[in-house]
Amino acid sequence: MLPLDLMTAPQLAAAVAQRARRLRLDRTLTQQELAERAGMSLSSLRRFERTGEIAFLSLVRVAMALDASEGLGALFPEQVRSLDDLLEAPRRQRGRRS
């Protein structure tokens, strides 16, 4: 399998779907059970597992239903700034409006 950062968007979506499917099976959940826990239709879950296509909010619900939502925080990590960066940042000027 390609590293995630070398995949196209459809490849990455399919890889995420396969991971979710494996996790569902590891938890011995049927597609129907997971769809109910995630509050989505069975057809939407099946399409996600087959193609990787899913609305973001539905993906969050699937992750929560699989007890895997912690990984979503890694999607857009906050930038850690060093003390030097903070000291070098231009100071904000305060003034009166004209």
- Cα dist from 82 to 36, 75, 77, 85, 87, whole Å: 45, 21, 15, 5, 9
Q: Which residue has the higher pLDDT, 62 or 84?
A: 62
State pLDDT tens for residues 66-82: 999 998 888 888 877 77
The pLDDT assigned to 75 comes to 85
State pLDDT tens for residues 19-60: 999 999 999 999 999 999 999 999 999 999 999 999 999 999
Q: Which residue has the higher pLDDT, 84 or 53?
A: 53
Answering whether pTM is above 0.95, one says no
As a whole number of angstroms, the distance between CA 59 and CA 61 comes to 5
Q: Above 80 in pLDDT, residue 85?
A: no
The pLDDT assigned to 93 comes to 66
CATH topology of domain 8-72: 434 Repressor (Amino-terminal Domain) (1.10.260)
